[in-house]
Structure 1
Amino acid sequence: MTRKKVAIVCPTHRDARELKRLDYAQSIDLIWYGDDVSEHLEEFEPLRFLEDAARDLFDKNLSGIISTDDYPGSILGSILAQEFHFLGPRPEVVIACQHKYRSRILQRQVVPDSTPLFSLIGPEASGFVDGEIELPFPFFIKPVKSFFSILARTVSCEEDVLDSLNRARNHWEVFVPPLAKLTKQYGDFSMRADCFIAEEILVGSQVTVEGYVENGCATILGVVDSVMFPGTFCFQRFEYPSRLSELVQERMGDTAARLMKEIGFNNSLFNIEMMYDSSRDKISIIEINPRMSSQFADLYEKVDGVNSYEIQLKLALGTPVSYSRRNGKYAVAASFVLRTFADQRITRVPGNKEIKIVEERFPDARIELFGAPGDMLSDLFQDGVSYRYGVINLGGMNWGELTTFFKECEKTLTFTFEG
């Protein structure tokens, strides 16, 4: 029997790690194409990349193309899949989801009760430019296109808005051009991306609802809780399964499924960040991500028994997906973020011996360590507010046990800093 081939466009370190461990992937020939271009966007030409990829992959006898990269990989992967007549979401839908203002318009059309008030702020002035809504201060602003919460903040006055506009100049010059070019060529709307979106401030419990659409039918994998460092918007850990009530989770899932089906998203994974305000019993959408959450892939495997990378491959190949919950080795799982709020120089990172100790103690752990001795934490890719230097994913039989496991890992994996 001929082995199927799948191209992984703009592969990430998590792609390599998870697909190497995944039994299902061993029956597939994986073709790695490109790299994580988000690390060098200032020199990236997306249209040239697509032209080169179409030529280079033409004679590979592929059966599917995927990308788990947020930006611009998810857009590039959808374009190439369409050009090769493979299964996957339509490029114009992925682009619309990536453009936060266009995405809000679609949300308001489909699920208005879950869409917060929003407006557009242009790059040259602090005034609202869409003329639809004028939000009172304070409100939340973020770039129309960004990631890692870069330049996202609460603003209390016009001076705060002007300050954000000034801070965004380099971001718009480096980060936004690929989206602008891809939108012009493959999008079904015409909107500039060098803007901010202003939104009413949301409060409550933040979560990520992840699911997939297969041949027009949406299925929800689960709901992951986002736990913040107190008094901040910075993630401390992500917990699965959610501690919200089953009823609230079902409502969130229904909202996500209806939205993604109505906007035409198909044959791929998605995740939607949401907020639940218990005081008003209200669910609000934070944003749509038209891709799988690679950071959570093994959380589903730990608790439910299926890694979401397997689902993504099956969707790309047209293989029917079967998913049921709570069939994993663990009752709970979490992705813990190693983070500090002071910019410091790294003087020591955990060595191979320490990492091996943790991996032998916790064979299903995932360990990501960022930076090297001599690096300033600010030299790494950060959100501009805090400084992340590692991620540890673990499973356990209860939350108390999981916390104990994390503390043990944290104690073993020794970092030191100065300054």
Structure 2
Amino acid sequence: MDVLVICPDAYDAAAFAALRQHRIHLLPADVDHWRPSPRFDVLAYLEAGRRFLRRRRVDAVVSTHDLGDLIAAVLAAEHGLPGPSPEAVFLCLHKLYGRRRENEPIRCEPIDLHDPEPRSPIGYPCFLKPPWLKLGLLSGRIDGPTPLARALIAASAEYAAWARQYRPLFGVAVDADRYPLAMRDVMLVEELVQAPQVTVEGWMDGDTFHLWAITDTNTFPGSPAIDSFTLPSRHPPAVQSRMAARARTAARAVGFRDGFFNAEIWWRNGEPLLTEINGRAAVCFGGLYEACFGRSILEAVVALAGGGRAASTPSHRGIVAGQYNFVTFGEGRVADLIDVEAARATRSLWLLRDPAEHVRPTSAFGVVLAQVELHGMAFEDLDAEADVLRHRLLRRPEASPWPARLVPADAH
């Protein structure tokens, strides 16, 4: 098949190149998936995709990123290719309107970004976040009116730059009169949920749900910052079954069909609660899937996007795997926060930031400097190896959170 990849990054370029049975076409984008990209014109990029599809035959259009997934849905719909509808992907991206499609959503209300005297309509504590964006960007716990006002001021510094990447595309993908808040400067206040979380990965074949995997999200003690993602899930089978059912319900609620998606689910007081649904595969877990299943999720994504079948739910091979984060709450050059040379020499570790970049945390999730993927026969062995690497590579360990299993003397 001829496959057009939207908004590819370096990981995509390498991963899709491994699919040698397909002809892969990357449509380069001057966009950063972690920071606003002022030079990126989303409508000009969409038009470049249209020109490509007019010139060449393409069997499938795919993306592994937020924003890119909606561009891919628009292009596929315009050219009669398989895939979820633009409206369904929009409802995955816009967390407020997605919540409003749920049968039993957690409390979630919009507030004006520029309100000089903001108040939470659901009380405190609550969780503040933008109506779009990923990985906790511009988000965090709020405990009162004064912290809320400060958080809105902080968010407004980057909000406009992010909005110019999303809003023009929303205007193309859906009826703005039906979704007016998609065009306004709003933030969301949500019920604060503190509970174990997983990512349910699956796909919809028409209206039928198929499970791919359930990955555990492990946070640092007393923090929403993410320590690691591990596979297979350590939740009991009955709990995993209910989480998968909740993901299926979430996909159907937004009308998501004929594509891969992932749903983040909390398990609180014996009940699954939807954190959010994303209208794309969590390809960032591709290495974990290959280690544990011996299966490529990109193969399945491309097959489904081309109108075929994604085969079957993978089977575990007895291997455990984890993706471990190098998180900092420090501010400064990346090269001053992590040993770049040693990081580049470490197998299965990749830097997520440019060494010369100046970073500062803008949320309670901190800044993820790097990730390493490990696999073996026991989670305890992976944890120990990750901790050794963090000790060796982090140059300001006191600015990083540490797992309860190991808190170094110079960390707090």
Task: Give the structure 2 partner of residue 260 of structure 1.
Answer: 251
In structure 2, list runs of 5 or more residues that go unmatched: 400-412
Question: What RMSD in Å do the two structures reach over aligned CA positions?
Answer: 2.5
* 189-198 or 292-301, which deviates more: 189-198
What does residue range 232-311 of structure 1 map to in structure 2 within 5 Å?
232-277=223-268, 280-311=269-300
Task: Give the structure 2 partner of residue 334 of structure 1.
Answer: 322
Q: CA deviation at 1:372?
A: 5.3
Distance 1:79 1:374 in 2: 36
Task: Give the structure 2 partner of residue 181 of structure 1.
Answer: 168
**What is the count of residue pairs matched by the alignment?**
389
In structure 1, list runs of 5 or more residues that go unmatched: 360-365
Distance 1:355 1:282 in 2: 42
Distance 1:197 1:351 in 2: 40
Relative to structure 1, the CA distance from residue 56 to residue 396 in structure 2 (aligned partners, 3 Å threshold; closer, same or farther) is same
Task: Give the structure 1 partner of residue 375 of structure 2.
Answer: 395
Distance 1:240 1:385 in 2: 21
Amino acid at match of 2:54: F
Conserved? CA contact 2:6–2:62, under 8 Å: yes
1:210 and 2:201 aligned = yes
1:312 and 2:292 aligned = no
Conserved? CA contact 2:112–2:186, under 8 Å: yes
1:31 and 2:19 aligned = no
Conserved? CA contact 1:36–1:69, under 8 Å: no
Relative to structure 1, the CA distance from residue 296 to residue 5 in structure 2 (aligned partners, 3 Å threshold; closer, same or farther) is same
Amino acid at match of 2:13: A
Identity of aligned residues (%): 23
Q: CA deviation at 1:373?
A: 5.0
Conserved? CA contact 1:377–1:389, under 8 Å: no
Relative to structure 1, the CA distance from residue 201 to residue 306 in structure 2 (aligned partners, 3 Å threshold; closer, same or farther) is same
Distance 2:36 2:219 in 1: 29
Q: TM-score, normalised by structure 2?
A: 0.87
Q: CA deviation at 1:231?
A: 1.4
Amino acid at match of 1:369: L
Instruction: After superposition, give the CA deviation of every residue in 1:382-406 in whole Å (9 maximum; x if it has no partner).
Output: 7575232210112111212322443
Distance 1:20 1:46 in 2: 25
Instruction: Give 3-state SS (helix, strand or coil) of 2:370's partner.
Output: strand
What does residue range 14-413 of structure 1 map to in structure 2 within 5 Å?
14-21=11-18, 25-35=19-29, 37-38=31-32, 39-70=35-66, 72-107=67-102, 111-112=103-104, 115-125=105-115, 126=117, 134-188=121-175, 189-193=178-182, 194-277=185-268, 280-328=269-317, 330-345=318-333, 346-347=335-336, 349-351=339-341, 358-359=346-347, 366-371=348-353, 374-378=356-360, 383=363, 386-407=366-387, 410=390
Q: CA deviation at 1:185?
A: 2.3
Distance 2:374 2:216 in 1: 15
Distance 2:193 2:173 in 1: 32
Distance 1:321 1:248 in 2: 25
Conserved? CA contact 1:303–1:325, under 8 Å: no
Q: CA deviation at 1:340?
A: 2.4
Conserved? CA contact 1:268–1:312, under 8 Å: yes
Relative to structure 1, the CA distance from residue 233 to residue 414 in structure 2 (aligned partners, 3 Å threshold; closer, same or farther) is closer
Amino acid at match of 1:91: P
Conserved? CA contact 2:304–2:310, under 8 Å: yes
Q: CA deviation at 1:376?
A: 3.6
Instruction: Give 3-state SS (helix, strand or coil) of 1:259's partner.
Output: helix
Conserved? CA contact 1:106–1:263, under 8 Å: yes
Amino acid at match of 1:400: E
Conserved? CA contact 1:297–1:308, under 8 Å: yes
Q: CA deviation at 1:20?
A: 3.2
Relative to structure 1, the CA distance from residue 163 to residue 310 in structure 2 (aligned partners, 3 Å threshold; closer, same or farther) is same
Instruction: After superposition, give the CA deviation of every residue in 1:13-68 in whole Å (9 maximum; x if it has no partner).
Output: 221232234xxx11000000022623553233222221222113322211111111
After TM superposition, which residue ranges in structure 1, 4 or more long, deviate above 6 angstroms?
none
* 89-98 or 40-49, which deviates more: 40-49
Distance 1:160 1:349 in 2: 34
Conserved? CA contact 1:7–1:65, under 8 Å: yes
Amino acid at match of 2:370: G
Conserved? CA contact 1:208–1:274, under 8 Å: yes
Task: Give the structure 1 partner of residue 404 of structure 2.
Answer: none
Instruction: Give 3-state SS (helix, strand or coil) of 2:194's partner.
Output: coil
Task: Give the structure 2 partner of residue 9 of structure 1.
Answer: 6
Distance 1:258 1:270 in 2: 12
